[in-house]
Structure 1
Amino acid sequence: MYGYDAVRPLLFQLPAETAHGTVHSLLKGVQGTPVEQLLRAQYRVDDSRLAVTAFGQSFPNPVGVAAGFDKNAQIPSVLASLGFGHVEIGGVTAEAQDGNPKPRMFRLREDEGIINRMGFNNHGADRIGARMAMQSLPDVPVGANIGKSKTTPLESAEEDYLYSYERVSAHADYFVVNVSSPNTPGLRELQNRENLERILTTLQDVGASPLLVKLSPDLPEPAIEDALDLVNELDLDGVIATNTTTERPDSLRSQYRDEEGGLSGRPIQSRATEMIRFTAERVDVPVIGVGGIFTAEDAYRNIRAGAHVVQLYTGLVYRGPSIARDINEGLLELLDRDGFEGIEDAIGADLN
């Protein structure tokens, strides 16, 4: 885990998914061992100025791991020991899924981005729920990101989401309805008002709380406004902005820029910040900001745009295990620079 700058070139010689699996296995191997405690001592930043309260949860710092990194809830504890203030597992689907054919993950090295078309590969809600029940979960909020099984018809989507929710409900601190991954055929159709309302009310009827929805950056503005109106009407607990994008900025230079799938990382940074601001201006609930976060300045920009907490994945791939510590230490400096007593004072500072 040490000297990531030296290790990264070796990892980057491997296919992207193979490298991810290697890192995941290493983290799994140290979880629950004395090494995890050493990581905790090195990477966690304990400072009350970083604390945030959102949708009834207490976050020791605003930097979390986005869904997709720990799909099967195998390493939440060690991720918290790397200094992250929350961990979102999943996406979890009712059925176990192999996902799309490989290769399905591509590094855009020159652009510090990733394109993936994983397709919700995961062990399934039964197995993931059982694993969460058996392990010692970390002392930071753990969210469960729930998606639709590929074989479930759209008209039965609410039953699919309900099944997954019921399997993980006793073990997660918040729940995310993911209707915005570009890698499951037809999934984004669930973002239209009628479909989304059916799913959300089904979960609310069984007491799902805190309940959030994760939206796509590719929705046209009227559709985003419609979805956010529904968030307000149903009194949801929060919004995650945003998922990956199928758009390809002209600035992309990597040989893999035309691969199909969702683009994440630095190329979507400005778009993500715009959507965070757009969302925060239209809802009265906390926003989790995701997209292109590599540095303290990136996280701070999104917090000032209205995000209560932020999440990253691609930044972890490119910057390594110290990223949460580096961001949190940098955030403290930025708070001092701008005269804020804590992160909560900076939330939405740039909104009109």
Structure 2
Amino acid sequence: MSFLFNSYPLARAALFSMDAEKAHDLTLSALQKAYDCSLTRGLLAAHPQLPCTLMGLSLRNPVGLAAGLDKNGAHIDALGNLGFGFVEVGTVTPKAQPGNPRPRMFRLPRAQCLINRMGFNNHGLDAFIANVRKSQWRSQGGILGLNIGKNAATPIDNAVDDYLLGLEGVYAHADYITVNISSPNTANLRNLQGRDALSALLSPLQEKRKMLEDQYGRRVPLAIKIAPDLTTEEIDVIANLLPQHGIDGVIATNTTLARDAVQGLPYANEAGGLSGPPVHALSLAVISRLREQLGAGYPIIGVGGIATGRQAQEKIAAGANAVQLYTGLIYQGPALVQQCVNALR
């Protein structure tokens, strides 16, 4: 494991010579092939232990994979094998959709950032559920989060319909469900974070969840994923509404529209959400405010800009109960998972 993980910089040099999205797809394909082979599966396996509880779920460790890396839930087992305490896949929409035109993912290596405007490209709910059902991660004790969104063609006024379809579809197969209302790459989606729109979304979701709880005999926690570009007043509104509507946790944060930290770099002015180290401070501010408003017990998952174990520590110090990785993995490789667990230990 150590040799393969530590050799990632060599692979990264080759991957970074390719188009970013092609490199992403190639990496997932290679990781899957390595997992499917029993010999290399063992060489890639990592099992860092730092048991904790999140939204009533027992995690092996508090370092998770953020949604977006595996949109179709096709590589759950291979990704979980890298040492994550929990894995979140999606965002899935009810109907398959191609997402935005390519190119739509850009690296900013000098800042260790990505800009993406993928636009919830995915194969749709049926294919997603089929992939999830094939995976062994949950049966082996892993915690799986399924992230749901709305189709681009669905008017924002009808967004709740898509989220209800998503909730009903994934409920039986999830340890927790994330409602993504903060991607900057689906028109008007972030409007759902406002007081009236959020209440109008959360009320029917909670009602549907109660029905599904009765149907399946278990309560699946619901989390909301929010943006880093919110004002203090907007954060306070969200913090007030989440417990009111029985929402079990909040994920802070998604990508940012801000470009202050990357001005002048190639691709800095591309449209889309920026991820990477500049998001860390934005995320910390949101987490800190949420913790202040929600009190000590409310579950918060901190995500955005974690590239070192120290930054994982800072997320927890700001008030997060667990963290998630994405862009840091692209630049640092899978050894980052163990580094973060060690730092939190």
Length-normalised TM-score, structure 1: 0.89
CA distance in 2, matches of 1:112, 1:279: 27
Deviation, structure 1 residue 133: 1.8
Asked if 1:45 corresponds to 2:58, the answer is no
Amino acid corresponding to residue 248 of structure 1 in structure 2: R
Asked if 1:218 corresponds to 2:223, the answer is no
Q: Unpaired runs of 5+ in structure 2? A: 211-219
Asked if 1:254 corresponds to 2:265, the answer is yes
Q: Which residue of 1 aligns with 2:168?
A: 166
Q: Deviations over 1:130-176 (max 9, x none)?
A: 22123323422110111111011112111111111211111110011
Partner SS state of residue 88, structure 1: strand
Indicate conservation of the 8 Å contact 1:132/1:168, yes or no. Answer: no
Deviation, structure 1 residue 254: 2.2
CA distance in 2, matches of 1:183, 1:322: 30
Q: Among 271, 293, 304, which residue is 2:317 paired with?
A: 304
Alignment of 1:144-159 (within 5 A): 144-159=146-161
Deviation, structure 1 residue 297: 0.5
CA distance in 1, matches of 2:134, 2:112: 37
Q: Which residue of 2 aligns with 1:344?
A: none
Q: Deviations over 1:102-128 (max 9, x none)?
A: 000001100011100000001111110
Q: Deviations over 1:66-92 (max 9, x none)?
A: 000011111111211101111110001
Which has the larger displacement, 312-321 or 27-36? 27-36
Which has the larger displacement, 205-214 or 3-12? 205-214
Which has the larger displacement, 251-260 or 83-92? 251-260
Q: Which residue of 2 aligns with 1:317?
A: 330
Partner SS state of residue 71, structure 1: coil
Q: Which residue of 2 aligns with 1:342?
A: none
**Residues 287 and 10 (structure 1), Cα distance of their counterparts in 2 relative to 1, 3 Å cut:** same
Alignment of 1:96-175 (within 5 A): 96-138=96-138, 139-175=141-177
Q: Unpaired runs of 5+ in structure 1? A: 333-352
Identity %: 44
Q: Deviations over 1:175-232 (max 9, x none)?
A: 1111110000111111112221222222211226301111111122212211111012
Q: Which residue of 2 aligns with 1:20?
A: 24
Amino acid corresponding to residue 37 of structure 1 in structure 2: G
Q: Which residue of 2 aligns with 1:245?
A: 256
CA distance in 2, matches of 1:200, 1:92: 18
Amino acid corresponding to residue 149 of structure 1 in structure 2: N
Which has the larger displacement, 26-35 or 145-154? 26-35
Deviation, structure 1 residue 44: 2.2
Deviation, structure 1 residue 253: 4.6
Indicate conservation of the 8 Å contact 1:109/1:254, yes or no. Answer: no
CA RMSD of aligned residues (A): 1.4
Length-normalised TM-score, structure 2: 0.91
Asked if 1:89 corresponds to 2:100, the answer is no
Total equivalences in the alignment: 327
Amino acid corresponding to residue 221 of structure 1 in structure 2: T
Q: Which residue of 1 aligns with 2:217?
A: none
